[in-house]
A and B are shown apart, each in its own frame.
Chain A
Amino acid sequence: MVTSSTDDATVAGVRSGDEAVFAQLLNDWSRSMLLLARTFVSTEASAEEVVQDTWLAVIRGIDRFEGRSSLRTWVYRILVHTAKKRGVRESRTVPWSSLPAEEDRGPTVDPALFRDADDQYPGGWRSFPREWQTSEGSVLAGEVRTHLRAAIDALPDRQRVVITLRDVLGHGSDEVCQMLEISAANQRVLLHRARAAVRGRLAPYLEQDGVGAP
Chain B
Amino acid sequence: MSGLSCQEFVELVTDYFEDALDEDTRARFEEHRELCPGCETYLDQIRDTVARLGELPVESLTPEMRATLLSAFRDVRR
**Given the known A-B contacts A48-B65, A173-B18, are A60 and B76 also in contact in the complex, defined by CB atoms under 8 Å?**
yes
**A:124-169 near B, CB below 8 Å:** 124-125, 127-132, 144-145, 148-149, 152, 163, 167-169
Residues of B within 8 A of A125 (CB): 6, 36, 38-39
Q: Are B76 and A59 in contact (CB under 8 A)?
A: yes
Chain B 1-55 residues near chain A, CB threshold 8 A: 5-8, 10-11, 13-15, 18, 20, 36-39, 41-42, 44-46, 48-50, 52-54
Residue of A nearest to B76 (CB): A59
Contact partner, A14, options B36, B39, B61, B77, Cβ 8 Å: B77
Interface locus among A3-11, A83-91, A192-200: A192-200
Q: Count the A-B residue pairs with Cβ separation under 8 angstroms: how many?
A: 137
Cα A109 to Cα B45 with chains together (Å): 13
0/1 string, A29-42, CB within 8 A of B gives 1 = 01110110000000
Which residues of A from 65 to 111 have beta carbons under 8 Å from B?
Answer: 107-109, 111
CA distance A11 to B16 in the complex (A): 37
A27: B residues at CB distance < 8 A? 60
B65 / chain A contacts, CB cutoff of 8 Å: 48, 51-52
Distance between Cα atoms of A17 and B54 in the complex (Å): 33
Contact B66 A149 (CB under 8 A): no
Q: Which residues from chain A contact B8 at a C-beta distance below 8 Å?
A: 123
**Which B-chain residue is minimally distant from A111 (CB atoms)?**
B7
Q: Is the CB of B77 within 8 A of A202?
A: no
A127 CA / B42 CA spacing, docked (Å): 12
